[in-house]
Amino acid sequence: MDIRKRFGKKLRALREEQGWSQEEFADRAGLHRTYVSAVERGVRNPTLSVLERLAKALGVSIEEVFKGL
């Protein structure tokens, strides 16, 4: 599975651990819901700055988001 798909699955799992909808997660990260949805499906290629926003919204480090990927 390519890195975008693996990352998307991991991101979705981390979001679901928080009990958040995609909309809530997107709002917390300052991103659009459709963008978060596309990242979770592995169809977007997020930049480093977006990775940081996603990790911050989840309250974890970027390292933590990539753990085990």
Interface ranges with a second copy (CB under 8 A): 3-4, 7, 45-49, 51-52, 61-63, 66-69
> Could you give phi then psi for residue 68, rounded to 5 degrees?
80, 0
Contact 48, 55 (CB under 8 A): no
Other C-beta atoms closer than 10 Å to the C-beta of 24 total 15
Instruction: Report the residue number, 19 or 49, with the smaller CB distance to a second copy.
Output: 49
Q: Which amino acid is at 4?
A: R
Q: How far is the CB of 28 from a second copy (least distance, A)?
A: 17
Q: How far is the CB of 60 from a second copy (least distance, A)?
A: 11
Q: How far is the CB of 49 from a second copy (least distance, A)?
A: 5
